[in-house]
Every structure is written in C-alpha cells, then in structure tokens.
Structure 1
Amino acid sequence: MKTVTRAAIAAMAGLAIIADAFLLFVKPHLAQQDAATGSTLASGSTDASTSESSSSDQSHTSGTDSTDNSDSGTSNTDSTNDSGLTDGTYTGVATQNKYGEVQLQVTVSGGKITTITAVKAPSTGRSQQVNAQAIPALTERAISAQSSEIQFVSGATETSTAFVNSLQDAINQSLNAGK
C-alpha cells in the first residue's frame, strides 16, 4: 500500500511540475504570440505559481500586498503601436519566491518598455547582494528584448523567475489595456 501511495504522490507531483512549467513558460509566450497576431487566447493574468508560491496565489484585485501599490495598470493614453503595448505605467503581480517577493512597475512609452522599477525585492542577508546585481542585469535584458523572454542571471534563479513572472504580468496588462 505504501508503494502505491508513494507512486500516486510522485505522479501528482510530476503533473504539478508540468502544469507549473506550462503556466510559467508556455502560456505567457502563447499570449504574446496571440497579441502579436491579433487573436485572443489569453484570459487575463498568467500568474504562474511555483511550488514555493502556491499558497500566495493572487489576482490583480486581491489587495494582499503590504504596500499601497495598485495591482492593475493605469493607462496614460489609449495609444497602441505595432508591439501591441499600450502606453502607461503597469504594476505587475508580486511574485513570491523562497527569499521574498519581487514586484515590478513597468513604464511603456511609444509602445516600448522604457523603464522597469523593482517595487519589491528581497533585501535581507545574501539576497541583498544577489539582487543588487541581478535586478539591474535583468532590467537591462528585458528592456533590450522588449519582452520577458530573457536569459536568467546565474546564481539568481529564484529572483530571475519571480522577475520574469511580475514582468510578464505587467506586459499582459499593457497588452490588454488597448482592448
């Protein structure tokens, strides 16, 4: 009986990992492709929960953040460009990792990502040193790529994953703001 239970647990864990990988990597890219081609597959947030953050799943309107930041983007204009991004400032979802939360604020101007600011980032112990190097590098890569499809920073996988999740949420808000 123990063997069957262990096998069932292992199978469930495997399926959960596959589902997380889909939500983290495939769905945001499908949403970007659909936005670029004009079809509508995306259904709002692509907040991908990792096994560490499954208990902190939150939507844009949950209001569980400890700061007074708006979780929804505020569009300054209704202009959209070929990129599909609507100008404005968008605050991505706060994404939990095992060291703390990462939350980004993204400014889109002229249909391009111009500024990315970390509203929240782990800042205690070793995380402070890691994030002091990782967040500027990730920001530069994201602005250059104009996308969340960026190379992670070596030694900062948790921060990189949370950064990309929050960034993708802000990008999705910008894409949906013009609709």
Structure 2
Amino acid sequence: MADDHTHVQEFFTARAMDWDARFADDGPAFDEAVRSLGLRPGDAGCGTGRALPALRAAVGPHGTVVGVDLTAAMLGAAVRAGRDREGALVLADVARPPFGSQVFDAVLAAGLVSHLSHPGPDLAELARVVRPGGRLALFHPVGRAALAARHGRRLTDGDLRAEHNLRPLLARSGWRLDVYADEDERFLALAVRLP
C-alpha cells in the first residue's frame, strides 16, 4: 500500500513550502466550504491547514478540530503558519484514519478525491468515523473545468468528481449526495452520512 502513496507524498512534499503562497486567494472559498457544513459549537473533524481557522471558528473554543494529512511536509507548513493552534495535526492516511467509529460530526476533504487510491473503500472509511447524519464536504477552491485547465488537461466524462460518477460512488460508500456545485470558482459536493 505504501507504493500507492509514494507519488502523492512526493508531489506534495515538493510543493509544501510554497503551497499557501501559490493559492493565497483561496481563503474565502475555504470559509464558504466550512459554512456549508453547518457546524455548531461542538466537534468537527489538511494539507497546510488552510481550513483550520474557519473550522475552529465554526465549532468554538471547546469543539474538536483535527487536521489529517499523509505528507509530513504539508503538516510542517501548517505548523509554520501557526495553524496547529487551531486544532490537532495528525500524520495519517485518511483512507485508514486512526480514529474510532462515529467520532466526528463532519469531514471537510479539500482536494482529496483525486488522490484516493481506492475511492470507494476510502470514502467508506471516512463514513465510518462520522456519526450518522454527519456531513462530508468534498471541496476544491476551483471547479473541475478550471482545475483541468490549470493542469493542461481536458475534462472527461470519467472524472471521478463528475456528478454522474460521484453520486453512486458516495451512495455505495455510505453517503447521500445532497448538494453538488461545480463552478469556475469552486467545487463542492456536500453529502450526509447514512444510518
């Protein structure tokens, strides 16, 4: 399984130092994604931790915020930015989260889906750690077409984040897709954990 992650770790390790500077204008999009979760003071469930301040604000000083990333360099960038004060940072694979079942009210997964080795089982593991009725926000600060253009690729029907692919994938993984927005300025798929 380590080989599945080597490419992802190499990709993000090489970019961790300047990740925030490259995408400095994404802050409002992260804030909006956090608001879409409808969190209340209590518990919430990273990359460089850009969403952690908004998550902390949403759950209040007594809520729990955890940022998980597979790449130590990305977590190091979060620490250098002072975001470790907003929540716990955990070096782990989100496909095998080191948490008990049904411990989080929500998961914000920014830019995650395209990096999952086994999307169905990996999304099912996220469902395992979220209580029934909890929420999952699959988010990216730009939409699918804008992201494909940024990387010099064409958008295809096989894109995992296309609604016709994502909806059944989420359903098989324990989620119900409630909101789907794929716009130039953001991608947001908001799902609810099924009982």
Q: TM-score range by the shorter chain?
A: under 0.3
Which TM-score applies when normalising by structure 1?
Answer: 0.28
- Bigger-Rg structure (1/2): 1
